[in-house]
Structure 1
């Protein structure tokens, strides 16, 4: 990547710049075989863990997650390979509830996911409730010694390959969002079934899960009963900005590919880069990227400085960065002409990879609702 001047912005400290430089060097040797997505993800988690990069995906007891480092990591990994970003991100999101609210015993799993010895998943979405978390239908009924869970979860990232899931279910302390709880559930728990593996346009492990009388001990409860919604929103408060960072990584790669294309491709005897209309596209792309980066790292810095909630800042970062990246990548495809939609070209892959980011962890219109409520409030 040509422009790294953003690392000199006051959001960052020397340790962030050092982390970024070392991860960049590591990614230079990254070679991911996308032929078998499950195997690729397992291998990436193991490799990222062995190299120490997953240590930042969880926080030691009493410490906070370093959101700026999480964002920098996702940006760099996404620019090199979308599946590498996915493998990294899910270790953080999957164990986010344990990082923020877990008991010492539950943190034994965190040690395993940070080392790459186990794969984590975050199971919130259901067939009848995506962004409407308060409408969760999966139930957790009190039984002697713990809970019995019944229900379905869908579009669960790492579904089918995860070793441990954080599951959200209705325990009924109050109506709606106030009656949810979070549980830590190992994959080998009886009653858990992978109903379907879900194929999407940019392949990564996704599954539809069914829980039929899954019995979990009292010790599986994360936080207190009835705190599930608060736990889920606290996790998303941290990780939504990192989704924007992944989109930023995709956008930066798209601009790099576009710059190389327009400087090497000739029309009418001169490089495409000499055409004013092409220069206009490049200017718009650079502007979108810097604006997205400012919003992302503002949100991350604000959280790292101790703000209890950054819902507005994180929503702005995710909304703008993902929508802007879609526009940047679309422009890069256009500047590539026919090669832009041809398999094997980076911009075609980026075009498929960016679309999901405008949906998961709160679709774009949900982010608009969050921002509007903040403004109105």
Structure 2
């Protein structure tokens, strides 16, 4: 287990989650259709109480000293995502997407919004989605073009497109980011809660390399009102960034879970597979490769949990949180790509066969280097934060 200071309860929980994922969730995942929301799997996550942990009250203090709900701790979120990813990546993804789509409602929603949507999300009966990216605004999230034009005195009409949206077009509601003030960059974006049955909202599925449900949305004058706003008008970019800062370290945990699964499969394979007169593990080139895989995986894990611990200690607006989150996601997702690729190489052709664990991980591992901010975006965030706040500690 990791050298990070997990207590016995956390270690036991990780083992329990791996078992649950393997025995209860993986069979449901195998029955699902790739590229589509697996509602029985989401419902099982709710029945097992996993989704409820996303929204547990922690009594965090927000702006002005007001208590704000923050949900389960970032370390708990990372432990859950890493453990699920190790045994069932589909369950991990379904869990994470519920959190990403509903977290803005939990932290910035009105009492009415929270009362209507969070209970069914907790139970796994409502599917949430986070709709930020657009055809021309993926990595550059401040360049959003989905227009929110005033409509009478109490609302707007949403016109435009969203693309690369997880759980679209099958979600029950979307956290949608639209431009309410043209030409204002990140300062003119508002977050809205948009139910999927709202008139004028349509969508299509996208056939992707990874088996995740991903689609595009079209908004043809979709009406929203002040009751649909999450947070404040023209301050939606803050809603988006605080959500991403919370989930970026846990994207790293997802990646670490996949890397660990690939590493463990490689240890077993190289100990059993014979070549050139002995087991593969006795070849120095193989042993050194495995040692490198293990070292990088552990380093990534430590950075992920350091970022999560900082988030739990300092809160979403704490010093260095954005930088730590970016570093954790960057190193973990790049490491997982390396480890899974090396594992495929050491397994040989068998790992390329459809249905093999590593064939599955190879398709899964590529996407996290892009979504929730590509690796290049993470490097930009890190550099910007370093130059803006050079006095902040790095340890």
Q: Normalising TM by the smaller chain, what interval?
A: over 0.9
What secondary structure, in the 3-state scheme, does the structure 2 residue paired with 1:105 have?
helix
Please give the alpha-carbon distance, in whole angstroms, between the structure 2 residues aligned to 1:306 and 1:43.
37
What secondary structure, in the 3-state scheme, does the structure 2 residue paired with 1:95 have?
helix
Instruction: Choose the corresponding residue for 1:355, options 366, 371, 393.
Output: 366
- Name the counterpart of 2:344: 333
- Name the counterpart of 2:157: 148
Please give the alpha-carbon distance, in whole angstroms, between the structure 1 residues aligned to 2:135 and 2:37.
27
Please give the alpha-carbon distance, in whole angstroms, between the structure 2 residues aligned to 1:28 and 1:204.
19
> What does residue range 280-319 of structure 1 map to in structure 2 within 5 Å?
280-307=288-315, 308-309=317-318, 310-319=321-330
In the alignment, is residue 25 of structure 1 matched against residue 26 of structure 2? Answer: no
How many angstroms does 1:15 deviate by?
Answer: 4.6
- The answer on whether the counterparts of 1:120 and 1:164 sit within 8 Å (CA) in structure 2 is yes
What secondary structure, in the 3-state scheme, does the structure 2 residue paired with 1:169 have?
strand
Please give the alpha-carbon distance, in whole angstroms, between the structure 1 residues aligned to 2:35 and 2:359.
22
Please give the alpha-carbon distance, in whole angstroms, between the structure 1 residues aligned to 2:182 and 2:207.
36
55-64 or 196-205, larger mean C-alpha shift:
55-64
Please give the alpha-carbon distance, in whole angstroms, between the structure 2 residues aligned to 1:297 and 1:258.
24
Q: Gapped runs of 5+ residues in structure 1? A: none
- Name the counterpart of 2:133: 125
Please give the alpha-carbon distance, in whole angstroms, between the structure 2 residues aligned to 1:174 and 1:18.
52
- The answer on whether the counterparts of 1:198 and 1:208 sit within 8 Å (CA) in structure 2 is yes
> What does residue range 1-377 of structure 1 map to in structure 2 within 5 Å?
4=1, 6=2, 9-10=4-5, 12-29=6-23, 30-31=26-27, 32-33=29-30, 36-37=33-34, 41-60=38-57, 62-65=68-71, 66-108=73-115, 109-144=117-152, 145-172=154-181, 175-194=184-203, 196-307=204-315, 308-309=317-318, 310-377=321-388
TM-score after normalising by structure 1: 0.94
TM-score after normalising by structure 2: 0.90
Q: Gapped runs of 5+ residues in structure 2? A: 58-66, 389-395
- The answer on whether the counterparts of 2:266 and 2:346 sit within 8 Å (CA) in structure 1 is yes
290-299 or 340-349, larger mean C-alpha shift:
340-349
What secondary structure, in the 3-state scheme, does the structure 2 residue paired with 1:33 have?
helix
294-303 or 307-316, larger mean C-alpha shift:
307-316
- The answer on whether the counterparts of 1:78 and 1:85 sit within 8 Å (CA) in structure 2 is yes
Q: State how many pairs are aligned.
A: 370
Please give the alpha-carbon distance, in whole angstroms, between the structure 1 residues aligned to 2:112 and 2:17.
31
359-368 or 344-353, larger mean C-alpha shift:
344-353
- The answer on whether the counterparts of 1:34 and 1:40 sit within 8 Å (CA) in structure 2 is no
How many angstroms does 1:173 deviate by?
Answer: 7.4
Cα shift readout 1:93-127 (whole Å, capped 9, x = no counterpart): 00121122111111121221111110000000001
Cα shift readout 1:25-50 (whole Å, capped 9, x = no counterpart): 31230312255136662111100001
C-alpha distance 335-306 of structure 1, shift in aligned 2 (>3 A): same
- Name the counterpart of 2:63: none
- The answer on whether the counterparts of 1:173 and 1:226 sit within 8 Å (CA) in structure 2 is no
Cα shift readout 1:294-344 (whole Å, capped 9, x = no counterpart): 100001010011332411001000000000111111110010011122212
26-35 or 201-210, larger mean C-alpha shift:
26-35
Cα shift readout 1:43-100 (whole Å, capped 9, x = no counterpart): 1110000110111222447332311111111111111122111100001000121122
- The answer on whether the counterparts of 1:329 and 1:350 sit within 8 Å (CA) in structure 2 is yes
How many angstroms does 1:376 deviate by?
Answer: 1.5
What secondary structure, in the 3-state scheme, does the structure 2 residue paired with 1:159 have?
coil
Cα shift readout 1:105-158 (whole Å, capped 9, x = no counterpart): 111212211111100000000011001111100111222332211110001000
Please, what is the CA RMSD of the aligned residues? Answer: 1.6
- The answer on whether the counterparts of 2:35 and 2:211 sit within 8 Å (CA) in structure 1 is no
How many angstroms does 1:14 deviate by?
Answer: 5.0
Please give the alpha-carbon distance, in whole angstroms, between the structure 1 residues aligned to 2:8 and 2:291.
30
